Amino acid sequence: MATSDMVGTRKARCPIDTEVDATFHQWVGDRSVYWNEERKAWIVTGYAESARILEESATFWRDIPQRDGAAEFWGRHLLVMEGRDHRRMHAVHMQLTGEKFSEDIRARAREIARDLSARLVKKGRADLAAAYADTAVFTIGADFLGIDITDTAMIANLIEEMKFRAVWKEELHSRDGIPFSSKVAQDGKAAIERIAAVLLPIIRERRGNPRDDLISAIWKKGATVFPDWNERDVLSTMWSSLDNETKPLSRGLLYTLCRDQELQARLRRDPSLIAGFVEEGLRFLTPFRTIRRQVRQDVEIGGQKMRAGDNIYLITPLANRDPERWECPHAFDAERKQESTHFAFGYGPGYCVGRYLGRVEAQEIVGAMLAETSGLRLDPQYPNPEWAGEMYHSIMPVHAILER
């Protein structure tokens, strides 16, 4: 199926419609479940099949624990758990950072994003990906964890170290991963230890002197699941607040605004549309783009017989464009009423525990930049940025001109 066919006869509403379709075109097959010899894996693009795979965790589950270096990367993190431990820890995460928590931190997230936006606007130009989206997500997370974000040197240092970790993260989860002995993994591990050297003293202090922050709450709640809960476990749990899908999502949303002046004007006139814009961004951009699963027991799905041990790639942007589920699914429509549950946050037992937080953060990051500017556009001094990334897919750098 050609990209132009996928857009269909409907006139595209947004300049990025065709551009984004081209980023997952390589995954379109002749049926909704097919074997990819190059990846030695099943590719799943259908909505119903994706939903089933994500729901039936006894038959399909993550292969992360088997990847070389996963234990060193994640520690005792939700993503390497399964069964009862996973269910209990998943519930703990939802207790800690569910809807109420997310709404509670909204005002503070707005304040942080407004402050960061205002500083960038003074310069007139910025890379909205690294200097704004990534920095805002990290800083908002650090703040609600209970890390002192007024220590700007420490925050800047941690953000730099997180970049090494992010490179390892992408390589660890793409294709079959990379050896722990590789330079990327060793550089990532070294960065994690440097980050730990900064954060562990804070974590230790918070154990004896709990505050009204997430680090203190993680100490308390984690111990209800694991009696031997320790400072490294707290650190492992914190990663999700500091580095997550909201970064690539926010980059993509800001780029979309730079490309679509009419949409930008509409959101400026009516900020109540921002929540819908973010939701459509999740469906359409689906920054968490390939969800990986491994077959646990022989099963038939989508007319294909899968064997225990087979690997699966769920291609979320394609599932999120099922024409049976969304009208004109290949069009970015910021005012779309989401007719179905999209899989940008996964689904089923692995449903992202940060889905409330991510939405709030992205809404406030977009809202703050619009509030602090009168115009955003791509900086013509730089070549057009490119979409990249197999697991977390997004666009960067996004060099932009910021008009007051």
Partner 1 sequence: MTYVITEACVDCIHRDCVKECPVDCIYEGARALYIQPDECINCGACVPVCPEEAIFFEEDLPESSKRHLQDNADFFSQALPGRSEPLGSPGAATPLGRVGVDTPLVASYPQRETSS
**Binding residues vs partner 1 (CB under 8 A):** 51, 54-58, 84, 87, 90-92, 94-95, 98-99, 341, 347-349, 351
- Rounded alpha-carbon distances, angstroms, from residue 310 to 3, 62, 297, 319, 342: 29, 12, 9, 20, 25
CB-based contact 168:145 (threshold 8 Å): no
Burial of 280 (0-12, 13-18, 19+ CB in 10 A): buried
What is the DSSP pairing of strand 304-306 with strand 299-301? Answer: antiparallel
- Shortest distance, position 57 Cβ to partner 1, whole Å: 7
Residue 105 has what DSSP assignment?
T
Strand partners, 306: 299
- Shortest distance, position 351 Cβ to partner 1, whole Å: 4
- Shortest distance, position 91 Cβ to partner 1, whole Å: 4
Report the sign of the C-alpha dihedral through residues 394, 397, 400, 404, in that order. Answer: positive
Nearest Cα residue to 256 out of 121, 365, 125: 365
Task: For partner 1, give the closer residue by CB, 57 or 241.
Answer: 57
CB-based contact 117:371 (threshold 8 Å): yes
Report how far residue 219's alpha carbon sits from residue 206's, in angstroms, rounded to the nearest whole number.
8
- Amino acid at site 181: S
Report how far residue 185's alpha carbon sits from residue 70's, in angstroms, rounded to the nearest whole number.
10
- Give the start-end residues of each E strand in 10-113: 33-36, 41-44, 60-61
Task: For partner 1, give the closer residue by CB, 29 or 348.
Answer: 348
Task: For partner 1, give the closer residue by CB, 62 or 399.
Answer: 62
Tell me the backbone φ, ψ of residue 326, rounded to 5 degrees.
-130, 140
- Shortest distance, position 308 Cβ to partner 1, whole Å: 18
- Shortest distance, position 312 Cβ to partner 1, whole Å: 17
How crowded is the C-beta side of 241, counted as CA atoms within 13 Å?
A: 27
Residue 58 has what DSSP assignment?
T
Instruction: Provide the CA 186 distance to its chain's centre, in angstroms.
Output: 24
Task: For partner 1, give the closer residue by CB, 70 or 78.
Answer: 78
Tell me if the bond preceding 349 is cis, omega within 30° of 0. Answer: no
- Shortest distance, position 353 Cβ to partner 1, whole Å: 9
Task: For partner 1, give the closer residue by CB, 74 or 347.
Answer: 347
- Shortest distance, position 173 Cβ to partner 1, whole Å: 21
- Shortest distance, position 63 Cβ to partner 1, whole Å: 19
Task: For partner 1, give the closer residue by CB, 87 or 189.
Answer: 87
User: Would you state the structure tokens that stand for residue 238, as one six-digit string?
Assistant: 């914190």
